[in-house]
Chains A and B, each alone.
Chain A
Amino acid sequence: MRQWAAFVKKEGLELLRSGRLFLLLLLFCLVGVMNPAMAKLTPWLMGLVSEQLAESGMMVGEIVVDAMTAWTQFYKNMPIMLLVMVVMFGGTVVVELQKGTLIPIVAKGMKRGRILGAKALSAAAVWTGGSILSFAITYAYSAYFWDNGIAAHLFFGAFCFWLFGIWLLSVFLPASSFANSTAAVILTVGICFAVSYVLGLIPAVKSYSPAYLLESLPLLTGEMTTGDYTAALCVTAGLTVFHMIAGVWLFNRKQL
């Protein structure tokens, strides 16, 4: 436990001193503010372009924005943050292997699984903290400007997206053992995303794919209920656990 805590502390210190934590939290805040801001600005933006549109024969009617517009923005912007997370954390193990910084640590008798555990925890913690930050800011502004009541299952929808993020980030655990560069790890994460996305297009299996968790709009409008996501949630959680186990198994066998 102390070994693990020591490495977690090191990860935290690295995030803090490299400025990555600050940058990420800043971006999460920015996204949080942008969601309602974009919604608020939409009528004004449309007003600006309406004349040009009118010239080409298109008429802009009255635009109604409400909390739903802000939440739609939330689900459009958060994938960008997930991508940023993948890029920032994709190299966390591989870079250390390349530099050789893990060698003195492992030679000290550090259990390899604990290294991965600490890395996974720091990525998960940043993703969780960042998601909460974005969600809370969007929630607060939407409540101030409009009424969050029109969007159903707000918390559950955000939870689904959060879990999808955790699953996608967990891919770097096994990928770091067989990929030799940050780019290869990110590529592996990309492939996993693509596979789950394609599976999400096939009607027969779509409700089991992790990508199904991204379909939040029907949830917000109340077309679907939380029960519809059970299968995808179970599969995603199961795969995440599998990635962790496979990651440790592979890492224990990796020649350093």
Chain B
Amino acid sequence: MMNILTLSHVKKAFGTSEILHDVSISVPEHSVFGFIGQNGAGKTTCMKMVLGLLQPDGGDILVKEEPVVYGQNQTNRYIGYLPDVPEFYGFMTPTEYLAMCGEITGMRREEIRKKSAQLLDLVGLTTANKRIKGFSRGMKQRLGIAQALLNGPELLICDEPTSALDPVGRKEILEVLHAVRERTTVLFSTHILSDVERICDRIAFLHDGKIVLNGTLEEMRTKRRGGNVALEFASSEEAERFLRLFGSGKRESAQRVLLENGVAEDRTSLWRCLMNGSFDLERMERTEPTLEDLFMEVTGR
């Protein structure tokens, strides 16, 4: 599969503080790529460099195999961009704004009219043809998606599209992103991990100016699937008796004991212990590492 976007060894400093040391990621076509990092990790900086709005201090950025040039960026014709806090001209209506965007990208008048109507319908702004000035944050975000998709971009870059929205607004935005994946590769940055789990198929973690984890969501889970086993007993006394008899394990709560990686691998001795002690066991489960666990792990919390 071709990579629509490649960053290799990208560096960026603002003054003396180095934000990005060595960032390398590849975004394959037709994927939904989650770009995860804490606030201030440098996600926006990365995205702005892809758009040619900021100048990298080192490294290469390729969009569809074409190098990104700072300033006058020709590769932007493949890209639709939704900034984190999209700001539009308040004196215009959404239709007027989209018409202006269409003219800037060189679309034909008829095409602009058709596409605008389609997109406003997709993002649910058909009835809101008033001036943008009175728009809520969520409405602006939706208009942002419409303008980003106007020229049928092959790569849609969204900078924290859901961060400031209420649950309903978030769900709507995620649905729109999910709906466009057929035609468009989506790269979106976020620190909301449940959003990532909901729609992404590939992710990269940015931490301390470097990519610390990178791959498909499945890969990431399997790689980290330690096979921790959690046991839930009927009472705290039972849990305590188990710990005494088995000899290892971590008490998670009164009735819950967690057997970490190495311990749980020795299944035979675990079964034997459980049988011999005839414990009143209520539940036994293999725990999946959540993205949150991964996030905590890579950020060293």
Q: Is chain B a partner of chain A in the same complex?
A: yes
CB pair A100–B81 under 8 Å, yes or no, is no
How long is the Cα–Cα vector from A105 to B77 in the complex, in angstroms? 12
B76 touching A99 by the CB < 8 A rule?
Answer: no
The size bracket of the interface on A is: 20 to 34
B104 touches A14 (CB 8 A): no
Check A3 against B72 for contact (C-beta < 8 Å). Answer: no
Given contacts A10-B100, A14-B89, contact A107 B53 (CB under 8 A): yes
Q: Which residue of B lies closest to A16 (CB)?
A: B91
Q: Which residues from chain A contact B87 at a C-beta distance below 8 Å?
A: 99-101, 103
Output the nearest chain A residue to B143 by Cβ-Cβ distance.
Answer: A104
- A3-B103, A3-B104, A6-B104 are contacts. A100–B76 as well, Cβ < 8 Å? no
- A-B contacts, CB under 8 A, total: 79
Indicate whether A108 sits within 8 Å of B76 (C-beta atoms), given known contacts A3-B103, A252-B71, A255-B55: yes
Question: In the assembled complex, which residues on chain A have CB atoms less than 8 Å from the CB atom of B72?
Answer: 111-112, 252
Q: A99-B87, A108-B151 are in contact. Are A9 and B100 (CB under 8 A)?
A: yes
Q: Given the complex of chains A and B, what is the CA–CA distance between A81 and B169 in angstroms? A: 47
Residues facing A in B42-75 (CB within 8 A) are: 48, 51, 53-55, 71-74
CB neighbours of B148 from chain A (8 A):
104
Chain B contact residue count (CB 8 A cutoff): 32
Residues on B lying within 8 angstroms of A by beta carbon are 48, 51, 53-55, 71-74, 76-77, 79, 81, 83, 85-89, 91-92, 96, 100-101, 103-106, 144, 147-148, 151
Q: Top 4 A-B pairs ranked by shortest CB distance?
A: A6-B103, A107-B81, A17-B91, A256-B53
Query: Can you give 22 A-B contacts (C-beta < 8 A)?
Result: A2-B103, A3-B103, A5-B103, A7-B104, A10-B89, A101-B87, A103-B81, A103-B83, A104-B86, A104-B88, A104-B144, A106-B53, A107-B79, A107-B81, A108-B104, A108-B147, A109-B73, A109-B74, A111-B72, A252-B71, A255-B55, A256-B48
